[in-house]
Structure 1
Amino acid sequence: MTGTELHQNHKVSVEQRFDWAEFVARYWDRRPVLYKSVRPAPFQEDEVFQAALRATRAPDPHLIPSHTQFAVGRLQQTSPGQWLPRAADATFRGYAKRLTTSADEVREDGYALIVHAFHGFHAAQWERERAFLAGLWEQVGLPTTGAITTLFHGTYEHTPVGVHKDRFATFLFALQGRKRMRFWTHRPWTHAATTVLDYEPYLAASFTAEVEPGDLLYWPASHYHVGESVGRSMATSVNVGVPRENHRAVYDLDDLLVEHDARSLMDPDAGLARLSAAAAPLSVPDPASVGLPPVFEQALVEFGTYTEASRMRDRAVVQSLRTWTAGGLRPAPPPEQPHPLSDEVVVRATAPVLWGESEGARVCAVNGHAVTTALDAECVRRMLRLLDGPGVAVRDLLAALPEDSVTTGTDETLPASRPGARRLLEILESFRGVARL
């Protein structure tokens, strides 16, 4: 095929050449399109499996992680049991083989593994995905609340949630097997339901597109959709969703006030763990005591700190720098453990390090993470300028700094001294923004 062809009922265009500017001009927020054999691919099968392993490690042996779903047929499982990937599986094929040979219900009804917040579990995969999406952000702007990434794997008949619509424009990257996406331009049913599992009565109004490994399929947020397996073979894909509809101010407020990880993104109650436990009786006296219950008093005091103008300005600076350096993919993979940097080590920046001013300090950010230093602006500029070169010894980066400084650090701010600057470099390295040569 050359140029543009139409796929299945003349609803999905098929393109052989992928270009962000052309895509935005012709398809963005308009209609689905299928791109064949996209290169370079933003996802690699081995990295995706390793990310799935990390994402599905259950901190509680009795509960599947909040950002993970596993279903056999239509039955959602709540206990990890044998269902989640294991290192011994080695690949998705090994994982599928283990499940299908050990569980009769999987052979009969199929299975579905879905992992949300998927970009936060493998640094190299995250960097590749960010680089790929950078071309889209150049055309349409960076989404303030970020994109979402979801893994879909299994032999399921159709997506466990059924036909649905969400607020995201979606890019589906096919990794293994064949998969069919079924679309409706409008809601095909009239009753009050957000999803439908038994959608056979509505097939006539639908249209489909089939993907195979290496393909990229896009559809706008306006479309109702459901994923289907082709036959009973295993299929693996990664979806990236970009928010386009039904934006609420609470999303921006949540992004400003809460530093999310994968767990808290999918479990609203996880944020409560940031507050210390407030002891409270199971019953109250009659008549009720005067004043707020302790737990409400604690919450009021905590939220009262957000009315401090300087604190909110500082928070806005930090979150803005994290958002820009994450390239639309937050939460970013967690930092690595910092390691000492001796004077003779040669280092350089491996990703753009952005910085900004906060109340009496400077904030440096890279790869979605931020650190605060008491170094003055000129020192920060000098360090970053040297790091942007071919390589510089740590001693040369620190040469202009005193061994000690009158400006001491705090629990959140590194001191303006040689040891403080060295620690800054070590932390930037743990963010994967500085590398040793």
Structure 2
Amino acid sequence: MLAPLPTPAPAPQAEPSLALPRSFWKDFAKRHWNREPAVFKRPFGDRAPTTGQMYEALLDAGERVRRGEYTMPLRFFIEHEEGPDGLPYYSMLMSLSNHMPRPEDGGVEGYLARLDKLLGGKRFGIVFNRLQMYQWTHWQQLSSFLSGLYEQVGVPLGNNESCIFFGNYRYTPFGIHKDNSHAFNFVVEGKKTFSVWPFETLASRPEVPKDPSLVNRPYSLFMKDKAEEDAVLSRANFIEATAGDVTYWPVSHWHRAEPTGGGLNISISVSACSAPPMFTSMAPPHEWPGHLRHTELPGKRTWQVPASVRSALRQRGQRKALLSAERESTIEWVRCLTANALDAAPPEAQEAPLAPDEWIRAHPERPIVCMPLPGKQLLVSAIGRSSTLPGSPLLRRRLERLVASLNLGKPLSVSALEQAFFSRLPSRAFSRASFRALLDDLVRWRAVQRCPAPGKKSR
């Protein structure tokens, strides 16, 4: 199960990147994908995610919790050793204000010392889902990592996301379980040992449903006592990884993290999932494609929603209410695909409105999409966000030309873009304020960024 060591690929345009060489992904697809677990020794070199980066993410999460912004992606577990029948058990905190990092902690050591007093020495574990939604640098890392996978095995159209596991807990709080996704685990700090079992090894247990589709669905097992746990563990394979390493196991495998020795352990779990995206649960039931080819994601050339997705959307009929539902689902799909099939868009940039004398450029590998919607509307989307605009033929042509110019990835003058857009355009077709608002949206979405004029160096 020990995989060959790849040569790290250089980061494009100095962005945070976890891209791996095509040769790595070709070998991975041939030997491991949907076949067997593996461990890869330090594939990212010195580009691997750091403890500081993970701590900053949890510190930001703690500040958000204290502002009342969200709690759903964040879970805090406390380990209790005095469980029944010799097994530990875990409780989950509902109020996290005091238990997440604070600025006054001064860093990881200060936070752990304060937490040790709060918990009376008990072990703990933090599980923070959808990290890419809250940290732009990690969104870039995750997108670059998965792009190589997509090229070799296709694009899983599920809840592709990353999750921080942070703590000194001994066992996975969820116990032995399986997910509905293929799993990669990046070890950031400490040592990680996983027990893994092929699906068939534990599928004969009496509580497991005799359903062939369960091999691709989530399920949890519960041990009745220590003797049963020991018997199940005797049938496991073990994967060991240390800081900088990456592990993988297929969607079919049961798994559990094992004792770590009591010190701090940090890892990032990356899910590649083919289950229907969450937004499809609000749509009438019909078939959805499980995968796309990587060439069906938005690219440099003219792009449209892939045929398999369009076919699924059209199954709803043509009545007005159903057309509205088709429009909303189309918007969700385009957002998903412009976000590189990740489960969430990255956080918006906090920047001032553009001035006419400024210059901007788009990233050539993250194209902006402009496409018509049912109901004579037009959608402009990038990196998981979108705006819906009037869809007259004249305005559509202007917007398509604007997007095509931006997608070249070259520096462009804001004032020149505006002048070209409104040349011979009737004043009632689209306001200049709306045009500037669209450009400002693209900046906030991180689809375009400010840049120096050609021939000038940035300060």
How high is the TM-score relative to the length of structure 1? 0.76
Shift of 1:42: 6.0
Within the candidate set 121, 144, 147, 1:131 is matched to 144
Within the candidate set 9, 13, 30, 2:2 is matched to 13
Which residue pairs with 1:253 in the alignment? 280
Within the candidate set 75, 89, 92, 1:76 is matched to 92
Compared CA separation, residues 28 and 319, structure 1 to 2 (3 A):
same
Rounded Cα–Cα distance in structure 1 between residues aligned with 2:371 and 2:253: 40
Which residue pairs with 2:402 in the alignment? 383
Rounded Cα–Cα distance in structure 1 between residues aligned with 2:412 and 2:222: 59
Rounded Cα–Cα distance in structure 1 between residues aligned with 2:388 and 2:182: 35
Which residue pairs with 1:281 in the alignment? none
Compared CA separation, residues 141 and 255, structure 1 to 2 (3 A):
farther
Rounded Cα–Cα distance in structure 1 between residues aligned with 2:28 and 2:127: 28
1:53 and 2:80 are equivalent in the alignment: no
**Contact 2:65/2:97, CA 8 A, preserved across alignment:** no
**Contact 2:135/2:346, CA 8 A, preserved across alignment:** yes
**Contact 1:152/1:237, CA 8 A, preserved across alignment:** yes
Shift of 1:343: 1.3
Which consecutive unaligned segments of at least 5 residues does structure 2 have? Answer: 7-19, 80-89, 209-219, 285-317, 452-459
Which residue pairs with 2:234 in the alignment? 204
Compared CA separation, residues 405 and 311, structure 1 to 2 (3 A):
farther
For residue 70 of structure 1, give the secondary structure of its aligned residue in structure 2: strand
Shift of 1:85: 1.9
For residue 357 of structure 1, give the secondary structure of its aligned residue in structure 2: strand
Compared CA separation, residues 119 and 330, structure 1 to 2 (3 A):
same
For residue 242 of structure 1, give the secondary structure of its aligned residue in structure 2: strand
- Bigger mean CA offset, 224-233 vs 137-146: 137-146
Compared CA separation, residues 378 and 44, structure 1 to 2 (3 A):
farther
Rounded Cα–Cα distance in structure 1 between residues aligned with 2:126 and 2:27: 34
Letter in 2 for 1:216: V
Rounded Cα–Cα distance in structure 2 between residues aligned with 1:64 and 1:419: 33
Letter in 1 for 2:367: P
How high is the TM-score relative to the length of structure 2? 0.72
Equivalences for residues 156-235 of structure 1 within 5 A: 156-185=169-198, 186-187=201-202, 190-192=205-207, 194-196=220-222, 198=226, 199-235=229-265
Which residue pairs with 2:35 in the alignment? 30
Letter in 1 for 2:137: A
Rounded Cα–Cα distance in structure 1 between residues aligned with 2:450 and 2:95: 43
Rounded Cα–Cα distance in structure 2 between residues aligned with 1:172 and 1:87: 28
**Contact 2:126/2:165, CA 8 A, preserved across alignment:** yes
Compared CA separation, residues 331 and 95, structure 1 to 2 (3 A):
same
1:436 and 2:435 are equivalent in the alignment: no
For residue 400 of structure 1, give the secondary structure of its aligned residue in structure 2: helix
Which residue pairs with 1:357 in the alignment? 372
Rounded Cα–Cα distance in structure 2 between residues aligned with 1:381 and 1:329: 25
1:113 and 2:122 are equivalent in the alignment: no
**Contact 2:157/2:273, CA 8 A, preserved across alignment:** no
Rounded Cα–Cα distance in structure 1 between residues aligned with 2:202 and 2:353: 58
Rounded Cα–Cα distance in structure 2 between residues aligned with 1:29 and 1:90: 43
- Bigger mean CA offset, 368-377 vs 167-176: 368-377
Identity %: 24
Compared CA separation, residues 324 and 44, structure 1 to 2 (3 A):
farther
Which residue pairs with 2:414 in the alignment? 394
Shift of 1:95: 2.5
Aligned residues: 367
Which residue pairs with 1:424 in the alignment? 438
Rounded Cα–Cα distance in structure 2 between residues aligned with 1:348 and 1:62: 35
**Contact 2:48/2:188, CA 8 A, preserved across alignment:** no
Rounded Cα–Cα distance in structure 2 between residues aligned with 1:58 and 1:242: 27
Letter in 2 for 1:48: M
Shift of 1:345: 0.7
For residue 135 of structure 1, give the secondary structure of its aligned residue in structure 2: helix
Compared CA separation, residues 60 and 240, structure 1 to 2 (3 A):
same
Shift of 1:391: 0.9
**Contact 2:380/2:386, CA 8 A, preserved across alignment:** yes
**Contact 2:159/2:278, CA 8 A, preserved across alignment:** no
1:347 and 2:347 are equivalent in the alignment: no
Rounded Cα–Cα distance in structure 1 between residues aligned with 2:67 and 2:350: 26
Aligned Cα RMSD in Å? 2.9
Which residue pairs with 1:7 in the alignment? none
**Contact 1:403/1:417, CA 8 A, preserved across alignment:** no
What do residues 75-124 of structure 1 show as CA deviations (whole Å, max 9, x unaligned)?
22222253222233344444223322x1463x3x4111111222211112
Compared CA separation, residues 255 and 380, structure 1 to 2 (3 A):
farther
- Bigger mean CA offset, 12-21 vs 32-41: 12-21
Letter in 2 for 1:436: R
**Contact 2:40/2:245, CA 8 A, preserved across alignment:** yes
Rounded Cα–Cα distance in structure 1 between residues aligned with 2:43 and 2:319: 46
**Contact 1:52/1:85, CA 8 A, preserved across alignment:** yes
Rounded Cα–Cα distance in structure 1 between residues aligned with 2:238 and 2:105: 33
Which consecutive unaligned segments of at least 5 residues does structure 1 have? Answer: 1-11, 258-304, 409-414
Equivalences for residues 274-285 of structure 1 within 5 A: none
**Contact 1:56/1:64, CA 8 A, preserved across alignment:** no
Rounded Cα–Cα distance in structure 1 between residues aligned with 2:135 and 2:186: 17
Shift of 1:406: 5.9
1:327 and 2:340 are equivalent in the alignment: yes
- Bigger mean CA offset, 114-123 vs 336-345: 336-345
Rounded Cα–Cα distance in structure 1 between residues aligned with 2:261 and 2:336: 41
Letter in 2 for 1:141: G
Rounded Cα–Cα distance in structure 2 between residues aligned with 1:75 and 1:306: 49
What do residues 27-74 of structure 1 show as CA deviations (whole Å, max 9, x unaligned)?
000000100001264634333222222334464789992222112212
For residue 272 of structure 2, give the secondary structure of its aligned residue in structure 1: strand
Compared CA separation, residues 390 and 404, structure 1 to 2 (3 A):
closer
